[in-house]
Structure 1
Amino acid sequence: MALLPFVDVKAQGETRAAVVWLHGLGDSGHGFAPIVPELRLPLDAGIRFLFPHAPERPVTVNGGMRMRAWYDIKTMDLTNRADEDGVRESAAAVQALLDNLISEGISSERIILAGFSQGGVIALHLLPRLPYKLAGVMALSTYMCAPDKLKDESNTLNKATPVLIAHGSQDPVVPMAAGQQAYHTLKNAGFNVSWHDYRMPHSVCAQEVADISSFIQRRLLAQVTN
């Protein structure tokens, strides 16, 4: 499998940790790359950021228009919104990118997987299924695909991995209730999830950026400086 192309924001100095950040529907890796300086991480943090580009595919709800998408959306009904085959295909591609990082010498426990909207669906799909432990997962303005299969398909490797789930209370694209459902589904299954909500639409706000920065520093800086 060819690796997904990505925007590579390299660490200053030695790379000791990584964040893989997945964009939303119709965006690209370039969409979130400018957030790195806004996180105001220490210059010596040694964190490399990878922002993969989803493949281009026709999206049914957008009239079959081709755009970057992690999976097709055939209906806006949240129960059936995520095309499960597409989710699994993209999850495998993202896992291959994680595998490659590990092969380059970055411990899986020094990698955070993040995703916004569609990207968050992929992140939450991988969380319980990966064959190694991550440093953390951030799921932003998103929901779960096939929550009914969580019990049968999950392992325990990332049960204790901190998971930040964040959502806007004014989100017209993915209702906050969908994010809350993902939170409760994972919490009830024994995962280490925390909930954050903000007065914002389907976007990212300044307070959320600050909370993301704190999460990254708690999960990675303590580990890379020991």
Structure 2
Amino acid sequence: MLQRKQLNLAFLDLTAGETQENDILVMLHGYGSNEKDLIQLAPLLDREMRFISVRAPERLDREMYGWFPLEFTPQGVTADREAVREAGKTLAVFLRGVLETYNPRGGKLWLMGFSQGAIMSYLIALAEPSLLHGIIALSGQFPEPALQAAPDPQAFRALPFLVVHGLYDDVLPVTNGRFAEQWLTGKIDDLTYREYPVGHSIHPDAPAVLDEWLTSRRRAT
């Protein structure tokens, strides 16, 4: 059943079967999109999970939202560091609300983000690893050095990561995915990295990899 709900952020809640103590995958859309985007992947993923697709807090236009403002300059895309931090705090409050409301297995969540949503996923993993079972980062960018501090490196190390990027991404080039792989290597115990021949999008073969990864890691936790 798909329902629209509200905590400190609006979200879509999709369940199948039992709803108590299910694993929960929280989905974070990219800049200029909305909560109706990534929820379309749910039928292709682990049917035993609950899916929560969140609407970012910054309204950009009709049906268009972002996690934090971006400035497009000749030198590239930039963001205010403090706005990024505040977005991370807002998302952390939401995730704690999900944990309190739905009591998922193990008292933790799975987090998946695309583009700006992937940046948010990295931020939460670094700042609040105890909230999470694992991370899926799709076509994202690892946070800048000033935001890379991990207060609990041991909890962070235990998180499994799946990082996916398009070879022909012209929004966040594939070098971003490769940097994330390089940065994570040696800092976590379970890292899977995949590249696909697409631009800033999700390759048709990727959902099967996401499903297999989620199922295997869920059984291992």
Tell me whether the two structures share a fold, i.e. TM-score over 0.5.
yes
Contact 1:128 / 1:159 at 8 angstroms: preserved in 2?
no
How far apart, in 1, do the equivalents of 2:66 and 2:185 lie?
Answer: 28
Number of residue pairs matched by the alignment? 211
- Name the % identity: 27
Q: Deviation above 3 Å: which 4+ runs of structure 1?
A: 75-78, 107-110, 151-155, 188-192
Residues 1:126 and 1:70: Cα distance change in structure 2 (over 3 Å): same
CA distance in 1, matches of 2:112, 2:199: 19
Matched, 1:21 2:16: no
TM-superposed CA distance for 1:86, in Å, is: 2.2
Over 3 Å counting, the alpha-carbon distance change for 1:189 and 1:221 in structure 2 is closer
Greater strand percent: which structure? Answer: 2
**How much has 1:215 moved relative to structure 2?**
1.4
CA RMSD between the two structures: 2.3
What is the aligned counterpart of 1:68 among 49, 55, 65? 65
Segments of structure 1 that go 5 or more residues without pairing to the other structure are: 59-64
Go from structure 1 to structure 2 and tell me whether the alpha carbon gap of 1:117 and 1:154 turns closer, same or farther (over 3 Å shift).
farther
| Residue 170 (structure 2) aligns with | 172
Amino acid at match of 1:208: A
Q: What residue ranges of structure 2 are gaps of 5+ in the alignment?
A: 1-6
1:48-197 → structure 2 map (5 Å cutoff): 48-57=50-59, 67-75=64-72, 77=75, 81-104=78-101, 105-107=103-105, 110-130=108-128, 132-151=130-149, 153=151, 155-190=153-188, 192-197=190-195
SS of structure 2 residue aligned to 1:212: helix
| TM-score for the superposition, normalised by structure 1 | 0.83
Distance 1:151 1:24 in 2: 23
Distance 1:140 1:152, change over 3 A: closer
Once residues 132 and 138 of structure 1 are traced to their aligned partners in structure 2, the CA distance between those partners, rounded to angstroms, is 16
